[in-house]
Every structure is written in structure tokens, then in C-alpha cells.
Amino acid sequence: MHALIVVAHHEPRSLTHSVATQIAEGLTRANPANTREIADLYAEGFQPVFGAADFAVHHREARPPADVLAQQARIDRADALVLVFPVYWWSMPALLKGWIDRVFSNGWAFDFAGDLKHVKKLQRLRVHLVGLAGADERAYERHGYGPAMKAQIEHGIFDYSGATVVSSTLMVESEVRDPQEHLQTARHIGAQMFT
């Protein structure tokens, strides 16, 4: 089995990157035959701005640009997609949202031609979400982030395209809690990914 782990954080020494690495380690420790690829969107210089070329793709007037096709090919090779990201303003970073905006395009992730017929095209894809949050659990409960994440990300993006969100983990107090707790959780996520 193959996992694509997408990480969106500018600092390679960040806890976000360490969590992504530990997910990968847990995956291969659970079964050495499992393979993984870590896509570091910052290091790769992915352009997240949804521009005129992307609008043309959405309206079926053009093929996706080469950078989008390369990302789609990565996902096509994967049995599981893992998104690892810091929570910014109760959501994902703009880089990751822009990656989704551009890569999960009409004709590839879903088919919608404007006649209200909608076809979900990523039904084979299993998704794991891992957000690293600075606030504590009470703050997230008080502000309703759990239901918001389900509505915006799980339902609004992945259910719309047919992918199954297998797990959604919010690692709270990431700036004050012992990082080993989060790294252990990350290894467990990797180890359980294909069981």
C-alpha cells in the first residue's frame, strides 16, 4: 500500500514536519512493504493561487496545468492521502487550501457540468487529516471547530469528491504540550493506516 503525506508548513524543523515524518515511520514499521511519499508543498514551491488557467479547467475549456497534473498523478498512485497541517485561524493554511482548490478539479476529483448532475470520482481514496492546533480542547469545543472541520473539510471537500475520511485528528496544545505525545500519536496513525 502507498500513502501520500502532504505537509504544509514553511519550517522543516517544525512539529508539523516531525509529525509527518513519524506518520511515515509508523506506516513502514507496521509493514515494510508499505511505501510512502512526503510532499512538502513549501519546499516544492507549489503555487496555490487559483488563477485563470484553473478557471478554464473548471469550465472544461482547458486541460490542467502541468503542476496540477503532477499532483493529481501523485494522488492517483496513492491508496491513502494524509494531510498534515498547522491550524491557522480555525482552518488550514492558505497553501494547503490552494493546493486543494487547484488539484481537486472538475473532471478529475468530480464531474459537474452545470446541469446539477454531480459525479464523485475519488471513491477509492482514503483520507487522513492531521491538524496541529495551538489552543486546548476546551477552546475548540467552545468555538465549534470539530463540527466546522467536518462540514468544511470532510464533507465540503472530500465527501464532495467521493473520498472517504478514515481519520481526523486534532493535536491540541501543540505549542505547550510535550511534543513526544503528538509524535507517538503520529506513529500510531501511520501504523494503523492500512490495517
For the chain, list the strands marked E by DSSP: 2-7, 35-40, 80-86, 110-112, 118-120, 126-132, 164-171
C-alpha cell, 129:
487529516
116 has pLDDT over 80: no
Domains of the chain: 2-192 (3.40.50.360)
- Which has the closest alpha carbon to 183: 24, 69, 47? 24
- What's the pLDDT at 113? 66
Per-residue 3-state assignment (H helix, E strand, C coil) for 132-185: ECCCCHHHHHHHCHHHHHHHHHHHHHHHHHCCEEEEEEEECCCCCCCHHHHHHH
Q: In what order do the strands lie in the sheet with 35-40?
A: 35-40, 2-7, 80-86, 126-132, 164-171
Torsion region of 127: left, alpha or beta (phi above 0 gives left; psi -120 to 50 gives alpha): beta
In this structure, which amino acid lies at residue 100?
Answer: I
The DSSP element (H or E) to which 96 belongs, if any, is: helix 94-103
Which residues, at least 6 apart from 137, have a Cβ–Cβ distance to it below 8 Å?
172
- What's the pLDDT at 97? 97
C-beta separation of 101 from 54 below 8 A: yes
Model confidence at 150, in pLDDT bands (50, 70, 90)? Answer: confident
Mean confidence (pLDDT) of the chain:
94
- What's the pLDDT at 117? 79
Neighbours of 69 (CB within 10 A): 14
The pLDDT tens digits of the residues spanning 178-193 come to: 999 999 999 999 999 9
The pLDDT tens digits of the residues spanning 21-71 come to: 999 999 999 999 999 999 999 999 999 999 999 999 999 999 999 999 999
